[in-house]
A = this chain, B = another copy of it.
Amino acid sequence: MEQSALSTASFLLKGEWKMAEAYTIVFQPSGRRGEVPAGKTVLAAAQELGVGIEASCGGKGVCGKCRIIVEEGRFEKLGLVSGASHVSERGETEEKFFTEDELSRGYRLACLTQITGDLVVTVPEESRSVKQVILEKGKKRTFTINPAVKQYTIKLPAPTLEDARDDRRRLLDVLEEKEGLSGLTVDYPVLRTLPRTLRENDWLVTVSVWQGKEVIRVESGEAPHSLGIAIDIGTTTLAAFLCDLVTGELLSKASRMNPEIGYGEDVLARISYAMANEDGGEKLQRAMQDAVSELAAQMTGEIGRTPSEVDEMVLVYNTAMHHFTLGLDSRYVGRSPFAPAASDALDIKARDLGILINPSANIHSLPIEAGFVGADNVAVLLAEEPYNSESVKLIIDIGTNGEIDLGNKERLLSTSCATGPALEGAQIAFGMRAAPGAIERIEINPETYEPRYKVIGKDEWFPDISFTGAQGICGSGIIDVVAELYRAGIISKAGRINTKLDTPRVRKDDKGKAEYVLAWAPETAVHKDIVITQGDIRAVQLAKGAIYVGAKYLMEKYGIDHVDEVILAGAFGSYINKKSAMALGMFPDCALEKVQAVGNAAGDGARIALLNVEKRKEAAKVAREVEFIETAVEPDFQTRFMEALAIPHAKDEFPHLKEGDA
């Protein structure tokens, strides 16, 4: 501990550490964040914010288990900061726990690292005391399996002095004779190791062929089925799916925070970052390459396979994330006339994108539409197929950038809206991703104002169990709680907390701001009261208002005053409670039985495109044909948006919403 006192002193001397100042810390991949006083250790901050980090020795710098990575980070309000100068210096005590490589990557011990500035910290898998559990359940969809990559197990004749054909030609000749595949090329990385692979198992090999055109992998002997990965890259969250490319089976899922959050909370901030820094675009891309590679390693590792067996990947994202991920110059996509660098579907080699799977695998990027309506919305459309439907569907894909589609087989409109990350659990006082410890369902008794709530990972509700281990609230919980606060009369139509109520649950914080206590400290794993603040409620209102207005504009353009069906999609991990969403006034009135929460439809669409190459043609068609409507430029947008903040927007517009429903 002497060493850390020393380094604290050195910061004091340099004047870099101002007492009593507070900094923002963000933990990856959980996304938990909070304000912490300068000088606090990262471990202490993690414990306060409910981020589980292993620390067997109790934070004495002895066990070496609380390994974290200090990332370079950036917060919009503060401009560019470098993580390196925002923590105390590393001493010898710490260094001995790490390899040279780890040191260069910013590894630290959380218990010996003091916070001296805004910070993004990654908690690597091995240091997490709570392992991530993925709860997303996909809507049942019928997949036709027709992947871009197909495998062939073939036996080659061994070369002789009479038949000294080269290895490449020998392979292609058999593929043509036995499988009828002619005119194939062999991707360069495959050639490098071909001689040894062919001979390892007496000329019996399994060949992965892409689109009937190119050999992208050769394995000796009878190899296991090829793997494929689909990833929905959201502004705040990444959701990844590992599939068997032969059976279509979903083998593993994983999700994590978008690592680019360190360079800007929203896409415009990140575009600014990329423009303002010479290597800005490269840094954004590098962060994404690493995150995607890690997801591939994690998911394949879980089923005892390797990333090198992943022969195809499909990515979906909004237009900005598309540009960042592919490393395309993004400066012009954020300004009028908003022309993207590329819209059509692209196939790019994994090695060119720096993604560590089979280097010859193709990364298929679904086409983007227009403005910020990107490939993720195309994926939603692929999954929901409104273009094959008679009835008019309103599809709302909730994310930091929300997308709304309206239409049927006759006509299809789409728009985007700036929802913000609140409905994903981010920028909420106790917000978190849908992971064990997250409160996902809430009911509030309108007489006692006492809540019942359910935590992910526990079957029983509070107060049926007294210790729930709650750590925060995820997106579906946030929607629930605001709807319930209103139903119980704790908040007004305008969203204001009634501080005159006779309950200890409603109180004011140090700064006089009202809040509702959802869970008392002893019930929780964070040893703090979990509260909903006035600010949280406001964030939810802004999000739902933006969605509502967007949907109404589309209905007007389409010329209808009601929709047949409402589809609520989103990658926030836990199913949204459609009654709560309706009670909040998130979408125009519709019969509740015609409202459906489908989970991550963009992720489902990405999987469909991964497993059925024919669907990619459908994607190209729908991307071309859907009409993009820019709603934010409408003259009455601001007025209507302000009106839409109320809860519910207007009771008489929701004949289907009965008192008992919400």
Contact = CB atoms under 8 A, between A and B. Distances in A.
Interface of A: 159-161, 163-170, 186, 188-189, 191-196, 199, 326-329, 331-333, 336-344, 346, 348-349, 351-352, 370
B168 A348 contact: no
B342 A161 contact: no
Contact of A191 (B189, B194, B326): B326
A400 B482 CA distance: 82
B342 A168 contact: yes
B199 A338 contact: no
Nearest to A285: B192
Contacts of A189: 352
A166 B348 contact: no
B169 A343 contact: yes
A571 B328 CA distance: 44
A339 B370 contact: no
Given A191-B346, A195-B333, A195-B341, 7 more contacts: A160-B337, A168-B344, A170-B339, A188-B346, A188-B348, A191-B326, A192-B326
Contacts of A332: 167, 195, 199
B342 A167 contact: yes
A166 B352 CA distance: 22
B199 A166 contact: no
A341 B167 contact: yes
A346 B192 CA distance: 13
Contacts of A159: 337, 339
B191 A337 contact: no
A339 B192 contact: no
B342 A165 contact: no
B191 A341 contact: yes
Point out which of A159, A195, A337 has the most chain B C-beta atoms below 10 A from its C-beta.
A195
14 contacts: A163-B337, A165-B339, A165-B343, A166-B340, A167-B332, A167-B341, A168-B344, A169-B342, A188-B346, A188-B352, A191-B326, A191-B341, A194-B328, A194-B341
Copies in the complex: 2
Contacts of A333: 195
A196 B351 CA distance: 24
A446 to B, nearest CB: 50
Contact of A328 (B160, B192, B199, B328): B192
Contacts of A342: 166-169, 186, 191, 194
A169 B341 contact: no
A170 B339 CA distance: 10
Contact of A329 (B195, B328, B349): B195
4 nearest interchain CB pairs? Answer: A166-B343, A168-B342, A159-B339, A195-B329
Nearest to A159: B339
A332 to B, nearest CB: 5
A191 B348 CA distance: 11
Given A196-B329, A329-B196, A331-B196, A339 B191 contact: no
Contact of A195 (B191, B331, B349): B331
Nearest to A327: B192
Point out which of A164, A166, A333, A348 has the most chain B C-beta atoms below 10 A from its C-beta.
A166
Contacts of A167: 332, 339-342
Contact of A169 (B169, B186, B344, B351): B344
A342 B195 CA distance: 9
A76 B543 CA distance: 72
A166 B164 CA distance: 50
Contacts of A343: 165-166, 168-169
Contacts of A194: 328-329, 341-342
Contact of A341 (B163, B166, B328, B341): B166
A337 B160 CA distance: 5
A194 B331 CA distance: 11
A379 B499 CA distance: 89
A493 B166 CA distance: 44
Contacts of A165: 339, 343
A167 B328 CA distance: 11
A486 B586 CA distance: 102
Given A196-B331, A337-B159, A344 B188 contact: no
A622 B336 CA distance: 57
Contact of A166 (B188, B339, B349): B339
B339 A164 contact: yes
Nearest to A370: B164
A446 B189 CA distance: 61
A327 B188 CA distance: 10
Given A160-B337, A337-B159, A337-B160, A329 B193 contact: yes
Contacts of A329: 192-196
A9 to B, nearest CB: 30
Given A169-B344, A188-B349, A348-B188, A337 B195 contact: no
Contact of A337 (B164, B348, B349): B164
A315 to B, nearest CB: 14
A342 B167 CA distance: 6
A327 B326 CA distance: 27
A193 B195 CA distance: 37
A331 B168 CA distance: 15
Contacts of A170: 339
A49 B328 CA distance: 53
A188 B276 CA distance: 24
Given A168-B341, A340-B167, A191 B328 contact: yes
